[in-house]
A and B are shown apart, each in its own frame.
Chain A
């Protein structure tokens, strides 16, 4: 540790820290454009100049200067101020005076620093630099005249996203940050360079000229477009969600967000179900709440309880699922399932279906085996975490399944379950890697569990974890990577068929007479029995609603207070940013109202009461954040006959990254992404 004095404040920081980090620790803000704590140090903007005692009498760049014991730093002397003013003058030489038409206005680092260090006039008489406008695809809007060459975007795409497409070409005044060859950025994390850009060079294309930051109502929430549960901030104006930005959470998403989660927001106002609908003579017609309740009550009372079924979708909040489960229990039915993909596996213990290592725990692992998953598409932020671990060195990754372009090199161990068998027998070369590792981990893709031999593979993967010492008192290396935000929470409250209950596949093909789809769109609606009466509760007019006989308009994740459990078992809370459109209501309230209508009133009237009930029944929800890391002490193997594994190779869960759920399918931006990447995807498929 080194003792450093910053502006008279003494702090102790680890050796090797930079002066800017020491200043951060001391609570002293040093302006910076190129420095970013999650990226490598470039030291090219020169804005973080400070004065250091007993050093040559000139300003020093704080980001690149390592601390030494007893260092005395001043961040606000005449020399520092003069230096920074000089830097600002140079940066502004070629920077256009277009703040009034720039989307960064109001949240621009350059604008903010210009207040402190800018001059009120320019001494530069020559013409400003002109640049051609590159096109980086449908997400990132470029205005490169504003670029100050901080290279944050280059470093992010190269280091974090692992897709080296951006670079600084040419030199001096003609330096251009870009792709050199015209192309759309192919990273699933490309939106983050918009946040990173300290000026208005990179802004959001779909959000262009939409709002100013000070007009927005900001709500902290949780993302549900994948199962990582990235922490987000929902920015809304009036009744409209305008944009979604990541919030910092080092344990989950650091400060990154996948493009689908960020840019699907325009899907939130399209194809919405804003009033109840009723099918009459084969056609849906608008109806009132009273009408649809009457129809549902008549139908549900008309069948025996074992002919009632409910399937939950991928983005449901735990509250609505608990209400639905208890409603069905009250009706006497055990036919409930949260696995609309048809997966059947042993979920009797939490560690069987969680990402037990935790996302932050990836940093500690020293070997990884991915089974039947493409984390780059199923959880891009988590994939960036794996890449971060790989970059740190001493980390081998093996892959069983289709070869994917992940952002780190992988050992192709096999294509299907037989490779798991080989590893269990210690035959595959990768077995040596796992055996030598101290903290190895397995990531089992949720898509695998939906296979007919899912339970067998689930059990085999667990046995693999046992064999290779992944379950110890200090370490749990067995992980299921879900791709549905609702899945973990639903399994936590036991939204699975009761002893005599029917699972998803059994409810289809006429297995039940009345089928309740709770925002379930990812199942094969054609497989629903022809005479099955379908009640669809949800927010988008997608596949489920198209098949429905009755539609109950619910709320999307930005429109309700909801609890979500991410793939690692972390309980997080989403919040209302805007009200649901039209007659749509919060989902649990709809179920609560219907339960009362049918004479089985659920025992809660408010969200607080519901949450108290939830915490009482399921202790994981009792603690805010409800999260602790498991040790791998309970080694009992999940049910499943390993011998039942077939030799069918694993296939990708998603055919594309951008449209995987009802919200992103309604998003024109996501459709544009698919169009932009279509030729590349076709090429990769060849």
Chain B
């Protein structure tokens, strides 16, 4: 387990400020609250950029509340409702395994097992000793065609099995960068694995 990081103060840096101004400008005056999720995301990305850990400390939520002119609790509600916001520090790589039915039918149990054994994490919500990984169980990631899915930070790794998951995590443990996202079996987008089965020239509209 990584030790709890105490963050007492938070301020948007220049990069974030530009994004914040843009996000708030999207909404009419008096409706700034609508930008709350954008600002939470900007804060989380700033934390990742500056500290290597993408999370939203309470100090950041308070800053956002003040910026948007709403009660802090309204920001806490948003931050805790959406699983994309981490209200506690996570590892450098946030492993989000989908275990909803399609992924589960396609073997997400194996992915979970592999994630645990490869990182030494015993249960969901925990962070590995080396602080590299946090394992989270998530609901449908909306990429069922390429199930099972493991989301690492912003990227989807699809069509996984135990071996490929282990290789992926071992690479990260060895200090490698995240490999290109997408299917791990070379599937083109969400096309059928074998060959094209629809919209074939013979059946398709005349060109």
Tell me the minimal C-beta distance from A174 to chain B in angstroms.
9
Tell me the minimal C-beta distance from B115 to chain A in angstroms.
22
- Contact residues in B for A171 (Cβ distance below 8 Å): 80-81
Count of A-B residue pairs with CB < 8 Å: 30
Report yes or no: A165 in contact with B73, Cβ–Cβ below 8 A. Answer: yes
Cα–Cα distance between A169 and B80 once the two chains are bound (Å) = 6
Cα–Cα distance between A164 and B71 once the two chains are bound (Å) = 6
Interface residue B77 (Cβ < 8 Å from any Cβ of A): yes
Report yes or no: B76 in contact with A181, Cβ–Cβ below 8 A. Answer: yes
Chain A binding site: helix, strand, loop or mixed by DSSP?
Answer: loop
Give A155-178 interface residues, CB cut-off 8 Å to B: 158, 164-171
- Contact residues in A for B74 (Cβ distance below 8 Å): 164, 167
Contact digits for A167-194, partner B, Cβ 8 Å, 1 yes 0 no:
1111100000001110000000000000
- Nearest A residue to B76 via CB reads A180
- Nearest A residue to B72 via CB reads A181
Which residues in A have some Cβ–Cβ distance to B below 8 Å? Answer: 158, 164-171, 179-181
- Contact residues in A for B71 (Cβ distance below 8 Å): 158, 164-165
Interface residue B58 (Cβ < 8 Å from any Cβ of A): yes
- Contact residues in B for A164 (Cβ distance below 8 Å): 70-71, 73-74
Cα–Cα distance between A179 and B58 once the two chains are bound (Å) = 13
- Contact residues in A for B81 (Cβ distance below 8 Å): 169-171
- Contact residues in B for A168 (Cβ distance below 8 Å): 77
Interface residue count on the B side (C-beta < 8 Å): 10
- Nearest B residue to A176 via CB reads B80
Chain B binding site: helix, strand, loop or mixed by DSSP?
Answer: helix
Cα–Cα distance between A180 and B72 once the two chains are bound (Å) = 10
- Contact residues in B for A169 (Cβ distance below 8 Å): 76-77, 80-81
Cα–Cα distance between A164 and B80 once the two chains are bound (Å) = 17
Tell me the minimal C-beta distance from A149 to chain B in angstroms.
13
- Contact residues in A for B80 (Cβ distance below 8 Å): 169-171, 180
Q: Can you give 7 A-B contacts (C-beta < 8 A)?
A: A166-B73, A167-B73, A167-B77, A169-B76, A170-B80, A171-B80, A179-B73
Tell me the minimal C-beta distance from B65 to chain A in angstroms.
10
Cα–Cα distance between A167 and B70 once the two chains are bound (Å) = 13
The 3 closest A-B pairs by CB, nearest first: A164-B71, A167-B73, A169-B80
A170-B81, A180-B73 are known; give 9 further A-B pairs, CB within 8 A. Answer: A164-B71, A164-B73, A165-B73, A169-B77, A171-B80, A171-B81, A179-B73, A180-B77, A181-B72
Tell me the minimal C-beta distance from A227 to chain B in angstroms.
30
Tell me the minimal C-beta distance from B29 to chain A in angstroms.
16
- Contact residues in A for B72 (Cβ distance below 8 Å): 180-181
Tell me the minimal C-beta distance from A585 to chain B in angstroms.
50
- Contact residues in B for A180 (Cβ distance below 8 Å): 72-73, 76-77, 80
- Contact residues in A for B58 (Cβ distance below 8 Å): 181
- Contact residues in A for B77 (Cβ distance below 8 Å): 167-169, 180
Cα–Cα distance between A673 and B177 once the two chains are bound (Å) = 55
Give B33-72 interface residues, CB cut-off 8 Å to A: 58, 70-72
- Nearest A residue to B81 via CB reads A171
- Contact residues in A for B76 (Cβ distance below 8 Å): 167, 169, 180-181
- Nearest B residue to A166 via CB reads B73
Tell me the minimal C-beta distance from B63 to chain A in angstroms.
14
Contact digits for B69-96, partner A, Cβ 8 Å, 1 yes 0 no:
0111110110011000000000000000
- Contact residues in A for B70 (Cβ distance below 8 Å): 164
